[in-house]
Amino acid sequence: MKIYNNQKLTFHTLLLKCCVFIGVFVCSSSAYSQKTIVLNAAFSYPVSTDTQRGFADQVLKEAFRRIGYALETVRMPAERALINANRGIDDGDIARVAGLEKKYPNLIQVPESYLTIDMVLFSKNNTEFVVKGWESMLNHSLAIISGWKIMEKNFAKLGDKVEIIKTDNAIQSFTLLEKDRVEFVAYSNWSGLGYIKKNKISNIKLLHPPLASPKLYVYLHKKHKSIVPKLADEIKKMKADGTVSDIFNKTLKPLLQ
């Protein structure tokens, strides 16, 4: 009888261990197989950060979570970000203006905007300058980041009547401005204000009004065509339920104070 109890106990213990092992295996396999979308990000703080604490990061991370995907972002120069996304090296781009599919045919615009930005001018020595559209830069010098299509397209219309220096990032653009190599930096309002705050710069000002105020959209490579409407629907729901507003108040609104 004593031997029987030990055998019964051993069997139950073995059965319990097997159940635990199977449970751990199933959970691990599920986590390992979770689908991940990799989006390129040319924007910097506060729109996107390496730790995914920027406005766009948080909005899209939640939107993708709601349709069963994890989000990974990769920081890279604006032009290369589009090229890699179009080639399918990465899955898309986190935030771009409408219409890019004309030049990058493998990219699909998710038809629900989640952020509007102001394309503005920043200046050190011309803080009283009155902005009157893109033509305001006639006979002036400025820095723009290569790959920002709305900037390149509109300033190109001015031809050689404006001196443009293209840079790889905000650091290069604002360094040129601080060293008086250019009179203005053309950049987005949020990223420019974020750069100024982060680097504690007090002698550079944002000028009004904006050159343009485009809406931004997610772009996905055509291989993810099937989830485009699902993602658009979730972004729309997040705007309606207040999720997007809450993230805005935590990440972008403080820069206006």
Provide the token pair at 75. 């920081």
CB atoms within 10 A of CB 254: 11
Report the predicted TM-score, pTM, of the whole model to 2 decimal places: 0.82
What's the CA dihedral at 125, 185, 169, 42 to 10 degrees? 140
Long-range CB contact pairs, 193-199, < 8 A, 24+ = 193/255, 193/256, 194/44, 194/45, 194/46, 194/47, 194/255, 195/44, 195/45, 195/170, 196/122, 197/255, 198/45, 199/174
Q: What is the pLDDT of residues 48-60, one digit of tens each?
A: 999 999 999 999 9
Strand, coil or helix: 199: coil
Return all residues near 24 (Cβ < 8 A) that are at least 6 apart. Answer: none
End-to-end CA distance of the chain: 80
Strand, coil or helix: 161: helix
Identify whether the C-beta of residue 139 lies closer than 8 Å to the C-beta of residue 162.
yes
Q: What is the pLDDT of residues 173-201, one digit of tens each?
A: 999 999 999 999 999 999 999 999 999 99
Domains defined along the chain, listed by start: 34-116+214-256 (3.40.190.10), 119-206 (3.40.190.10)
**Residue in the block written with tokens 């931004």:** 216
pLDDT reported for residue 257:
77
- Integer Cα distance of 2 and 15 in angstroms: 20
Segment-wise mean pLDDT, segments of 10 residues, the chain, 257 residues: 45 47 42 78 94 97 98 94 97 96 96 97 94 96 94 93 95 97 97 95 95 97 98 98 98 92
